[in-house]
Amino acid sequence: MSDANLFQLGIGLETGAHEEDTARGVPTAIVNSLVDADREDHFIRRDGKVFAGTHLIIEVMKGTGLDCQPRIEDAFRKMVEVCGATLLHIHTHKFSPQGVSGVAVLAESHISVHTWPEIGYGAFDVFMCGDAEPWKAVDVLKSAFETDVVEVRELLRGEEIVAKEIAA
């Protein structure tokens, strides 16, 4: 088994993850290591913040083609490409009489969707860590589903956990 496979199984990691901080449920050794500027990982350090990744909640409205499984899969692939992410797997499901749900599993996290084509609505999540640029996905969705009616909310995943541990 390769080191990468062992890493995915959580074997051979020397992060201190087994030393749980029972007061907060967050492994103290991991959180303390996140603030180390020399650490090479996929945590993001921006504007004095350290966080696991950027999670965009994207509401596509008045969209067309939201019932088309291949079109959604193509949009996933385009988002991965323009955001600079790494695609591992795509799985979608077409509902009857309409609607599609799907996920693109990324090395940097995931993209997911559930659509209500009868009202032109698609609920997309784009969560990426590392050097990927998830905000570039917004223009891909506008183009793919022929709409400018898109709302986006950004969450910095893990930011509050790291901030609380640094202050403690």
Which residues form the catalytic set?
109, 114, 129
Q: Closest Cα partner for 3 from 11, 163, 18?
A: 11
**DSSP letter, residue 129:** -
Asked if residue 79 lies in contact with residue 87, where contact means CB atoms within 8 angstroms, the answer is: no
Tokens at 92, concatenated: 């979608």
What is the rounded CA–CA span in Å between residue 16 and residue 28?
8
Q: Name 100's bridge partners.
A: 94
